[in-house]
Structures are given as C-alpha cells and as structure tokens.
Amino acid sequence: MAARRKTSTRQPAKKPCPDCQAGQTSESFQVGGRRKRLSGDRQEALCLTCLGTGHAPD
C-alpha cells in the first residue's frame, strides 16, 4: 500500500491595511511651552488599526 500524499492548504492572501501602507502612519505634533504650536514636521507612529503589521485585521 502506497503512502497517501498530503496536500497543503493555502492560506488566503492578506489584505492591506486601509489606513496605512507599511504599518506606520505620519502624524503632526505640537511644540512649545504654554502655547502649543503645530509643527510643520511629521513623525512616524505605529498604525493602531493593524498594530504595525500592514495587513487588515480579520
């Protein structure tokens, strides 16, 4: 009796996150002592939708 061949199941392709492209988003930030001014610079932040994976949550 021949050994049975096992077939592997493919996992479905992961969908990209709708809010980011690579797991990170850019945000503006405030600077200053008392009067918080919005800075023209941007900083990278972790995407809270996908938690940095870049794939849409299930």
Write out pLDDT tens, residues 19-53: 888 888 888 888 988 888 888 888 888 988 888 88
Higher pLDDT, 50 or 2: 50
Query: HEC profile for the chain?
Result: CCCCCCCCCCCCCCCECCCCCCCEEEEEEEECCCCCEEEEEEEEEECCCCCCCCECCC
Q: Is 50 exposed, middle or buried (0-12, 13-18, 19+ CB in 10 A)?
A: buried
pLDDT of residue 1 exceeding 70: no
What are the extents of the domains in the chain? 16-58
